């Protein structure tokens, strides 16, 4: 979540991620930093040339017996058909220009025995995933580029001496770089590294599969209908909730004391906590400029407002991160520091828990450790919410999705930011454009099919066109999306494969922008959410 560039503070939020989907966001000056095509200003999109193989092998460098066919295909007019040999995996590669220190998601549709999809030269842990299914199935993985990485080589291949495999609709989602990569045509690159695949003399074994951390474990995987294997913690919240972020800064929206936050909000996320000089530790201070504009808002008044919200049955959580947040929990010491400092703030102010909105990277192992430690201190009433960007929840291989799954036993709700993201694949493999009901419902489907309970999934949208660079939808669209997910009614072209009546609700950035927009979100979406059965 981003804050206005007019306010020279590290705290922010109009929900602007580090990369925006369209250059049109630049027209919304004052709400964040838009990225346009080219270099560090590249737009998010599919970076693969001819990923659907509709133009033959154009854009790809292939080895062995490789060609394109018109059938079978996953979509379009073509697909890759490749037959490995005794000493060849029938690999196709493509080198793509990327940005350093940036997260990317890689996916593709494949069928056949032992099909591998991955990337090399990422500057970090090179991703690899595989399947061995006779029907079309989607492979998903992700990675973050290193500090000096400007290009990566994508690959898809089969296994030595196995039957023909097919591949189609390969996508690398993220911002494009400025480099002009030179394709790697080396035949030696056709063989995966030992760590990614089994030895040449053997068929792929369990050791070749993606690591356990890259996908939900068996215990957290949902049934085909999206049912859960864990039960919700008793947090005292209603079945369906409305979440809103309260801005602890002034960015030319409507300023509010916490006590003035609209009564429709069941969870109020205070934005944001601050990093300290101690690794992993956080602090919180009311913004002096905001306090002055509110006529002298004091800590005592703020704490009293939290208590008043509690008396009205509301929950107040402290949000960490935001677009400019510098909080990092990457080791055991940082995890301990985070849990201890967060607990101290909870005791001091009366917060009910934590909202995780880390938009500059997250370590799912140590952040999960920190959150579990904090929950054990607070007790069963602990509220844990998250607001990841869409790319963070694009597949279970993503670090944010892994964090959600790692904390599933204590997780209240994930309200993914369904905006500032451009087009994304839904759970059906089709690309949907932000700002539509299909974009929202197809992404929610991915989250539930990936292992989250429906009651742990919500819809995150901006409260007005001023609150984000793209992806705003009016309250009617939000209500229709919730109804579609819960009952199967009022859907767009995408109809979810199941009904999820326990879908948790909706979130907006922010209560301030909602007030600035005549309280349209809290009045209309709030009424709908609270009327859901």
Please give the Cα distance from 137 to 111 (Å, whole number): 6
CA 381-385-391 angle, to 5 degrees, is: 160
Tokens at 47, concatenated: 């970076």
Angle (deg, nearest 10), helices 364-378 and 399-406? 30
Distance in angstroms (rounded) separating the CA atoms of residues 501 and 64: 50
| 379 Cβ contact partners less than 8 Å away, ≥ 6 residues apart | none
| 359 catalytically annotated | yes
Please compute Rg for the chain using Cα positions: 23
Identified catalytic residue from 355, 359, 389, 455: 359
- Tell me the C-alpha distance between 482 and 489, whole Å: 9
- Rounded Cα distance, 451 and 476, in Å: 28
Q: Is 456 left (phi over 0), alpha (psi -120 to 50) or beta?
A: alpha
Under 8 Å between Cβ of 372 and 337: no
H runs (alpha helix) in 75-206: none
* Distance, CA of 446 to CA of 163 (rounded, Å): 31
Residue with tokens 């579609």: 484
The number of C-alpha atoms within 13 Å of 3 and in the hemisphere containing its C-beta is: 22
95 neighbors 152 (Cβ within 8 angstroms): yes
Buried b (16+ CB within 10 A) or exposed e, 80-89: bbbbbeeebb
**Token pair 């370590």: residue:** 363
Residue with the two structure tokens 């703020």: 302
Alpha-carbon gap, residue 124 to 145, rounded angstroms: 6
Name residue, tokens 């979130």.
507
Cα–Cα distance measured from residue 116 to residue 1, given in angstroms and rounded to the nearest whole number? 35
The most distant pair of C-alpha atoms in the chain lies apart, rounded to whole Å, by 78
Rounded CA-CA distance 465/467 in Å is 5
Catalytic residues: 359
């Amino acid at each position: 979540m981003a804050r206005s560039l007019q306010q020279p503070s590290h705290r922010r939020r109009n929900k602007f991620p580090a990369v925006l989907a369209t250059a049109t966001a630049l027209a919304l000056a004052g709400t964040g930093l838009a990225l346009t095509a080219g270099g560090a200003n590249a737009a998010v999109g599919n970076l693969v040339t001819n990923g659907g193989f509709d133009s033959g092998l154009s854009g790809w460098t292939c080895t062995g017996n490789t060609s394109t066919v018109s059938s079978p295909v996953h979509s379009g007019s073509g697909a890759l058909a490749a037959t490995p040999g005794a000493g060849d995996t029938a690999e196709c590669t493509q080198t793509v220009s990327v940005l350093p220190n940036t997260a990317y998601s890689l996916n593709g549709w494949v069928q056949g025995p032992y099909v591998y999809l991955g990337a090399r030269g990422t500057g970090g842990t090179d991703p690899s995933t595989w399947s061995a299914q006779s029907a079309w199935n989607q492979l998903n993985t992700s990675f973050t580029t290193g500090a000096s990485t400007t290009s990566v080589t994508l690959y898809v291949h089969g296994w030595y001496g196995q039957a023909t495999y097919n591949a189609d609709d390969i996508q690398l989602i993220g911002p494009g770089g400025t480099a002009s990569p030179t394709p790697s045509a080396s035949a030696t690159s056709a063989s995966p590294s030992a760590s990614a695949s089994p030895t040449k003399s053997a068929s792929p074994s369990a050791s070749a599969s993606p690591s356990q951390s890259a996908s939900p474990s068996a215990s957290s995987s949902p049934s085909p209908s999206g049912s859960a294997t864990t039960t919700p913690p008793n947090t005292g919240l209603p079945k369906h909730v409305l979440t809103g972020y309260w801005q602890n800064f002034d960015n030319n929206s409507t300023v509010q004391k916490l006590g003035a936050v609209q009564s429709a909000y069941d969870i109020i996320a205070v934005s944001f906590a601050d990093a300290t000089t101690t690794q992993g530790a956080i602090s919180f201070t009311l913004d002096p400029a905001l306090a002055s504009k509110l006529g002298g808002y004091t800590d005592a008044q703020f704490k009293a407002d939290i208590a008043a919200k509690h008396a009205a049955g509301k929950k107040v959580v402290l949000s960490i991160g935001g677009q400019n947040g510098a909080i990092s929990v990457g080791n055991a010491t940082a995890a301990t520091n985070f849990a201890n400092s967060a607990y101290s703030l909870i005791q001091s102010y009366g917060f009910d828990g934590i909202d995780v909105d880390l938009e500059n990277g997250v370590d799912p192992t140590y952040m999960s450790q920190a959150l579990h430690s904090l929950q054990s201190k607070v007790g069963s009433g602990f509220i844990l919410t998250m607001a990841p960007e869409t790319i963070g929840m694009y597949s279970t291989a993503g670090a944010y999705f892994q964090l959600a799954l790692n904390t599933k036993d204590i997780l209240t709700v994930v309200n993914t930011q369904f905006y500032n993201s451009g087009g994304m694949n839904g759970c059906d493999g089709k690309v949907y454009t932000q700002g539509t009901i299909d974009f929202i419902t197809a992404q929610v489907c991915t989250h539930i099919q990936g292992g989250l309970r429906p009651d742990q999934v919500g819809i995150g949208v901006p409260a007005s066109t001023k609150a984000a660079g793209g992806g705003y939808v009016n309250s009617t669209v939000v209500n229709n999306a919730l109804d579609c997910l819960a009952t199967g009614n009022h859907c767009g072209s995408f109809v979810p494969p199941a009904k999820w009546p326990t879908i948790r609700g909706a979130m907006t950035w922010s209560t301030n922008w909602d007030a600035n927009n005549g309280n349209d979100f809290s009045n209309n979406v709030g009424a709908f959410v609270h009327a859901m059965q």
